[in-house]
Structure 1
Amino acid sequence: MFVRPFYLSDYASITSLFSEVLSEACYEETMEAFAKQLSLDPDLVLVSIVGDEIAGIIIGTIDQRNQGYYYRIAVATAYQRRGIGKALINGLKQKFIQRKVSKILVTVDVHNEPILPVYEAVGYTDNNFSRSFRHLRIVSGR
């Protein structure tokens, strides 16, 4: 298993993965945000590869205050509970560190509340969780 940047050729596999693991409402929100992030800063979209398959994806963003946000993470059902989510989180964390963000936060909404223990397992705490009462969104930062 390794983590690498998103390639355009990954698009069909990613949309399939999202439809497999996300609810319909979450899928719609995520696809919109995914497209926006790809147009703004595709370097903050990472995928995990197992063999020749995409096993997971993480989408991040950086806001106008230079704060890095984990927006959405998804791991294919067949690959869950194998450390892929943690590897994706750590891979994106390295991107945030390289960009010298002022703070790293985990965006939290009803869709990703159940996976907060994965973030906690790699060291994030409630102080790192940014809860939103609106739909999560990708921001045009830098």
Structure 2
Amino acid sequence: MQQGESYMKVRSFQLADYVTVTHLLEKVLPEACYDETMEAFARQLSWDSELVLVAEKEQSIVGIIIGTIDNNKGYFYRVAVHADHQRQGIGKTLIETMKQRFVHRNVSRIFVAGDIHNKTFLPVYESVGYRATDYSRAEQRLRITSGY
């Protein structure tokens, strides 16, 4: 860590984070994406809050990743990083930490939800080793069918 850089911590979402995360998503995401993401965020919290991670710097939440598991497959659903903290490796760290969660859950394969809103973030996924074949273009939005 270089001088002037602050320590970043990735941890599971906590209920006390809700207002801060909601404001972060509202600032970072386009309106249509925000509405979809908030629906998916609420569903994922009710299913498995351990698959919602936040990045903290100086006790402030600067990023979030929402993942899900469906039929033994892990999906990166949405990553959002505060504009003042982009291009600092936060998105990559969130992706790597979520990947570790998926691995610990013994998922058979990991995909990136390839919806229209994730297109701008695809180069970040590619920079950590995901390829076009790892993008799921399913029409369903973060929906779990039968258990995992």
TM-score range, shorter chain: over 0.9
- Could you say which residue in structure 2 is the equivalent of 1:9? 16
Q: Which runs of 5+ in 1 are unaligned?
A: none
Q: 1:52-79 deviations in whole A, cap 9, x for unaligned?
A: 100100000000x200000011000011
Q: Percent identity?
A: 54
Q: Determine the C-alpha separation between the residues in 2 that align with 1:19 and 1:109.
A: 18
Is this contact kept in 2: 1:109–1:135, CA < 8 A? Answer: no
How far apart are 1:135 and its partner, in Å?
5.5
Which of 136, 139, 143 does residue 138 from structure 1 map onto?
Answer: 143
Two-structure CA RMSD over aligned residues (Å): 1.1
How far apart are 1:24 and its partner, in Å?
0.7
Q: Determine the C-alpha separation between the residues in 1 that align with 2:79 and 2:143.
A: 14
Which of 31, 34, 52 does residue 27 from structure 1 map onto?
Answer: 34
How far apart are 1:131 and its partner, in Å?
1.6
Q: Determine the C-alpha separation between the residues in 1 that align with 2:28 and 2:21.
A: 11
- Could you say which residue in structure 2 is the equivalent of 1:18? 25
Instruction: Return the TM-score normalized by structure 1.
Output: 0.95
Larger Rg: 2
Q: Determine the C-alpha separation between the residues in 1 that align with 2:64 and 2:94.
A: 7
Count residues in correspondence. 140
Instruction: Give the alignment of 1:29-48 within 5 angstroms.
Output: 29-48=36-55
**Secondary structure of the residue that 2:130 maps to in structure 1?**
coil
Which of 106, 110, 114 does residue 104 from structure 1 map onto?
Answer: 110
Structure 1 runs of 4+ aligned residues shifted over 6 Å read: none
